[in-house]
Structure 1
Amino acid sequence: MESSMAEHHHPWTGSLYVDGRFRPPAAGGSLPVHDKSSGELLGVAGDAGPEDVDAAVASSVAAQQAWAALPYSERAAVLRRAAAALEAADGLRELIMRETGSIAGKADYEIASAAGELFEAAALASRPVGEVLRTGHPGRFSVAERVPVGLVAAITPWNFPLVLGMRVIAPALALGNALLLKPSPETPLSGGLALCELFEQAGVPAGVFQVLPGGEAVGRRLVEHPDVAMVHFTGSTTVGREIAGTAGSLLKKTSLELGGNNALLVLDDADVDQAAMIGAWSSFHYQGQTCISAGRHIVDRAVADAYLDNLTARAAAVTVGDPLRDGTGLGPIINDVQLARARRLLDDAVAGGARILTGGTNEGRFFRPTVVVDVDPAAALWTEEIFAPIAPVAVVDGTEQAVALANDTGYGLVSSVVGSDVHRATEVARRLNCGMVHVNDATPQDEPLAPFGGIGQSGLGGRAGGDSNLEEFTERRWRTVTGDPVHYPY
């Protein structure tokens, strides 16, 4: 195992990153960060307050226009250097594993995907930013151009802190914006402070990228601040509603990537072994703690018994424990609050008649992968986002029932359909009300060029990735130029 970033004193200790330097919070607050498996202290971040937000915003506003005025090739070069530095960062892999409680494969994915976001954003910087419009006025030149939003505030979650932060940071910077990042208090190191030196070495000017670890007061001030032009939030639907309400009253641009109660449909002609592998990965990977995990398995009766047997066997075979140990498949639930919620959802479902086929137990925050059937469709385990390694399974008769049950939710993030007849499975997929759908693959999918996002309670309809980032992180401006004299009545 590579040397741990947490074994040494770092410039970020007790600090925020404001105006190109690490400094303590104005009020002197601190934010301890612990290994999610052992409880060992990993480090201490600064705990920002509203005063720090104001200072950082002022620095960003002062720096943003000069950054936007740089030739696109210079911004692109900065992002490419940042990607190379990220790929070579010593100790980042172990830091992610320890700070998030994830296995090595998940940490490797985060680093590779975050670097991919930077490389793709570097290409985004050279995309055309305008179009010439036809005009009915002789002598007038009319163009629609894209201009940076200005200052973007990103409030990011703890589950994939590096890649979900970079999904916003990279395109926002590429397109000439400044970025203020508030990572989750659970993961302020891999989610923010560990990036600051990398960006500084890559050539990001002071004030263009800043990190403010902290709690609710910091997030609220960022949303309310009049000089923050746009707020991006990834997290729960409950908090997203609050942000949308505040930002809406201020007529402020928002991008909300919220929760999901995602369905995996297994059709009557599915290859059961393949379907169960897809189902196990969809519900159990990273302890089920992603917005794109499958929270509802909807299985045709013709293959239900075989599917349940196979899924149960796969769940029972997973090793749960310290992610730093070889062979571990799942680490711990992120904290005691999430653990208590998972236990409540499962226990309430069982009290209502559900049956656990495997799992359902935990030792501390280490929760066994769980398969449960006969869940009341009104139970919270079926209707709410779970965020734990629990796979509720419902048996249906035919595709009509499957589609109706899958669409019976206010969420609309992602679904998957598994079936041997690809044409038929694709037709079923087209009927599902969600922002993303996958045929014969797991619900957790993410690519830098793909439009990622949901509908309904899963988001406001904005998308991250590829050309969608042009819509997210720029505003369209109409500009005309008239060379000949104009004449008006007065």
Structure 2
Amino acid sequence: MTDTSLLLGKDIWHARLYTGEWQAGTLPPAEVIEPATGAPLGPLALADAELVCRSAADASRAQPAWYAMPYEARAKVLRTAAVLAEAHFEELVDWLVKESGSTRNKAAFEASVTIKLLHECSGLPSRSQGEVLPSTPGRLSLARRRPLGVIGVISPFNFPLYLAMRAVAPALAMGNAVVLKPDPRTAVCGGLVIARLFELAGVPRGVLHVLPGGADAGAALTSAPHVAMIQFTGSTGAGRKVGEAAARNLKKASLELGGKNSLIVLDDADLDIAVANAAWGAYLHQGQICMATGRILVQRPIYARFLDRLVAKAKTLAAGDPARSDAALGPLINAQQRDHAYRIVQAAQQAGATLEAGGGYEGLFFQPTVLGGVQPDNPAFREEIFGPVAVVVPFDSDDDAIRMANDTEYGLSAAIISRDVGRAIRLGEQLRTGLLHINDQTVNDEVVNPFGGVGASGNGSSIGGPANWEEFTQWQWMTVKGEAPLYPL
């Protein structure tokens, strides 16, 4: 019997995926695992490459009718999905805590910002969709935005609900169909929940497909002939492969990738505020965020005092099961990610860094860690750690800070803390970064803003806010004359 109090009861999702209806996968199911305890949460249906291609074709057939619906009908689906998410808020939070290892506060924020996104996207169908261009007398010349068709979305594990929804919702609002491949480690909270919300909200059958799967499913999405665009959020290494495959198949690609983001603390900063910002940026969600503060650049006159206070702060932060405690940090997503963070911490010490706090782990719970005295030739300065490791680097002049912050292939987020806002802005203007925050830390997203990086952090595209029209539609030029001219040739 269906539990009507739940958004996503086990009778709906166990060993099922979504293609407009809930059906068995085409591969043997995988077990959904709670990273904090290792306990199984239920069987997850998986899609193979053939099902991905078939779903893309089905979505292509369903998309024209979805776009042809009155704009208010599409807007209503988005509004209804937002209302449903609000009604099932605690269930969304519980899934994020159990499946992704989020602390309850982080999960509540993620669910809230996802709801805000749905409300914002419900206004997209009613916005202006083009321009009237200058032309010759007797001819009307229009530039208008049209949906691309089928959008393939490949989403990550770290903010699974929001980072999938930030592509799915605007793409649907603008009249596209979507095939979503969530990360199989967080496919319930980052995929099947989304399917259920839109199913109950009334999205027509075939317009949305949610297909958990492995690398072969993602590869099929980049090559399927009915997919017009890939929106990928994930590591830079995987993003390079996705971008290459999309280009080979002449698909538009939006790549939101990794980062080695710098927080610059100038010598006039309030130390308590600076430490609070640094700890938040480095340790939020165990550092598993593309915008995480990967380097804390501290001007030398305040470096020793800053380091002492950050170490004291790190030692007050406990890691534990977020479903059963109010620990500040939860588990890392899996042993592979834990071992990657541990390897870099060990390599950093061998290269001359000092381990000021933490550095160890128990199971998937990694201690809040502080590395001091890190220099630009240190692995911890270069590599994205994706773990709760604060990398503290001294610098002398503002020019040194600029050089160090730009000394990376990445270019996602940067932040500067100073009482002198003019000085901070002048410094910030010289940083190669897609996101810049003055008197804040590096982890920020408010739905209404364009979000994107440069260099190895992305392909120069942005998603969110006003950038959504650029990403999920294409221009069509249309002219209209009262009657066709008689050309002289």
TM (norm. structure 1) is 0.97
Tell me the alpha carbon deviations over residues 26-70 of structure 1, each in whole angstroms, 9 at most, x when there is no partner.
3x4212111110111012111100121122112201110011011
> Which region of structure 1 is more displaced relative to structure 2, 461-470 or 261-270?
461-470
Separation in 2, partners of 1:7, 1:459: 34
What is the rounded CA distance, in whole Å, between the counterparts of 2:312 and 2:7 in structure 1? 37
Q: Which amino acid aligns with 2:100?
A: T
AA at the equivalent of 1:326: S
| Residue identity in the other structure for 1:115 | I
User: Structure 1: how far apart are the matches of 2:231 and 2:446?
Assistant: 19
Equivalent position amino acid for 2:17 in 1: L
Cα gap change, 1:8 to 1:53, in 2 (>3 Å): closer
The answer on whether the counterparts of 2:261 and 2:412 sit within 8 Å (CA) in structure 1 is: yes
Tell me if structure 2 keeps the 8 A contact 1:6–1:42: no
Q: How much does 1:418 deviate?
A: 0.4
- Percent identity between the two aligned chains: 44
- Distance (whole Å) between structure 2 residues aligned to residue 225 and residue 384 of structure 1: 33
The aligned counterpart of 1:95 is 95
Higher mean Cα deviation, 384-393 or 192-201? 192-201
- 1:122 aligns with 122
Matching of residues 55-74 of structure 1 within 5 Å: 55-74=54-73
User: Residue in 1 aligned with 2:265?
Assistant: 266
| Structure-2 change in CA distance of 1:185 and 1:377 (3 Å) | same
* Structure 1 residues without counterparts, runs of 5 or longer: none
Aligned pair in 2 of structure 1 residues 423, 10: CA closer, same or farther (>3 Å)?
A: farther
Offset at residue 457 of structure 1 (A) = 0.7
Q: Kindly provide the CA deviation profile for residues 241-265 of structure 1, in whole angstroms up to 9, marking residues without a partner as x.
A: 1111111122210000000000000
Task: Kindly provide the amino acid, as one letter, of the partner of residue 421 in structure 1.
Answer: D
Shift of 1:4: 11
Number of matched residues?
485
CA displacement 1:425-472 (0-9 Å, x = unmatched) = 122122211000111111110011111110111001111111110000
Q: What does residue 135 of structure 1 align with?
A: 135
Find the counterpart in structure 1 of residue 218 from structure 2. Answer: 219
Partners of 1:282 and 1:454 lie apart in 2 by: 17
SS at match of 1:186: helix
Contact 2:262 2:415 in 1 (8 A): yes
Q: What's the offset of the Cα at 1:237?
A: 0.6
Which runs of structure 2 are paired with 1:14-29 in the superposition (5 Å)? 14-18=15-19, 20-26=20-26, 28-29=27-28
- When residues 6 and 60 of structure 1 are mapped into structure 2, their CA distance, relative to the original with a 3 A threshold, is closer
Matched with 1:423 is 422
Aligned mates of 1:225, 1:380 — CA distance in 2: 39
- In the alignment, is the contact (CA less than 8 A) between 1:265 and 1:298 conserved in 2? yes
Q: 1:128 to 1:4 in 2, by over 3 A?
A: closer
CA 119–8 in structure 1, closer or farther in 2 if over 3 Å, else same: closer
Q: 1:247 to 1:212 in 2, by over 3 A?
A: same
Tell me the SS of whatever aligns to 1:259: coil
Q: Runs (4+) of structure 1 moved beyond 6 Å? A: 3-7
The 5-angstrom pairing of residues 229-378 of structure 1 reads 229-378=228-377
Equivalent AA in structure 2 for residue 101 of structure 1? G
What's the secondary structure of 1:125's corresponding residue? Answer: helix
Residue 165 of structure 1: aligned partner: 164
Counterpart of 1:46 in structure 2 is: 45
Deviates further, 150-159 or 475-484: 475-484
Cα distance in structure 2, aligned partners of 1:214 and 1:40: 21
- Quote the Cα distance in structure 2 between the aligned partners of 1:321 and 1:416: 29
Q: Secondary structure at the match of 2:394?
A: strand
5+ residue gaps in structure 2? none
Equivalent pair of 2:165/2:194 in contact (CA under 8 Å): no
Query: Which amino acid letter does the alignment assign opposite residue 127 of structure 1?
Result: R
Counterpart CA distance in 2 for 1:183 and 1:214 is 8
TM-score (norm 2): 0.97
Distance 1:238 1:57 in 2: 25
Q: Quote how far apart the aligned CAs of 1:406 are.
A: 0.5
Report the CA distance between 1:376 and its aligned residue.
3.9
**In 2, distance between residues paired with 1:320 and 1:207?**
42
Alpha-carbon distance between aligned partners in 2 of 1:213 and 1:152, rounded to the nearest angstrom: 16
CA distance in 2, matches of 1:10, 1:113: 28
Query: Quick one: distance in 2 between partners of 1:485 and 1:343?
Result: 71
Separation in 1, partners of 2:287, 2:106:
12
Cα deviation 1:86-129 (Å, max 9, x = unaligned): 11125221111010111101111111111111110011111111
Equivalent residue letter for 1:221: A
How far the C-alpha of 1:327 sits from its partner, in A, is 2.6
Partner of 1:112: 112
Q: Distance in 1 between matches of 2:143 and 2:194?
A: 35
The C-alpha deviation readout for 1:189-220, integer Å capped at 9, x for no partner, is: 00111222221111111111110000000000
C-alpha distance in 1, partners of 2:364/2:325?
19
Structure 1 residue 420: Cα displacement: 1.0
Q: Residues of 1 paired with 2:438 and 2:25: CA distance?
A: 48
Residue 167 of structure 1 and its aligned partner are, at CA, apart by 0.4
Q: Give the C-alpha shift of residue 478 in structure 1.
A: 0.5
Q: Is the contact made by 2:415 and 2:437 (CA closer than 8 Å) also made in structure 1?
A: yes
User: 1:378 deviation in Å?
Assistant: 2.2
Which shows bigger deviation, 51-60 or 223-232? 51-60
State the 1:159 CA deviation: 0.4
More moved, 51-60 vs 308-317: 51-60
